[in-house]
Amino acid sequence: MERSEVLTPEEVLRKSGVPFTVMSHVPIVGQHDAENTLGLATEHLLKTMVFRTKDEVFVLAALPVSGRVHYGRLARAAGVSRAMLRQAAPEELSLLGMEPGGASPVCDRPDVVTVFDVSVTRMSTVYCGSGRADRTVKIEAQQLIELVGPKIEELSS
């Protein structure tokens, strides 16, 4: 799939009709920047980690920003062995319409496996990546789940 054919997460959201807002800001990376630069509360921050399997399948893992991914649980949820899973290289994010610091659980590629930590189902409004490091999406967690249709598993260790 060519990069030009891939919609950015914001484009997917706009096309879906799901209500969301976008905050523009200086580029941020990680929890510290989100809390201190943007003033966002930890309990509303959703991080997305991007992985790739040895057979080139992308796996997106979305969980609260303070959580740590348990790789074995993620691999089981994604239907791959732990040995097949590696973190995606920063340059690979462009294949998903994303850039480093802007990883999002929203993606239009049908071959991407998306897994949300079960705790996301108990969250209300969340802030997540837009695909860009200088823009953050604000969306209701339940609407995000309905749009993405992820697998729901206990991912945090």
The pLDDT tens digits along the chain (157 residues) read 444 588 999 999 999 999 999 999 999 877 887 888 888 888 999 999 999 999 999 999 999 999 999 999 999 999 999 999 999 999 999 999 999 999 999 999 999 999 999 999 999 999 999 999 999 999 999 999 999 999 999 998 7
SS (H, E, C) 41-75: CHHHEEEEEEEEECCCCEEEEEEECCCCECHHHHH
Residue whose tokens read 């945090």: 156
* Domain range annotation of the chain: 3-151
Q: What is the pTM of this model?
A: 0.93
Handedness of CA 134, 41, 103, 129 (dihedral sign): negative
Tell me the residue type at 38.
L
Both tokens of 119, joined, read 């705790």
Closest Cα partner for 29 from 102, 85, 86, 91? 102
CA distances from 76 to 2, 42, 116, 151, 157 (A): 29, 27, 13, 11, 14
What's the DSSP call for residue 4? G
Q: Classify 3-151 by CATH class.
A: alpha beta
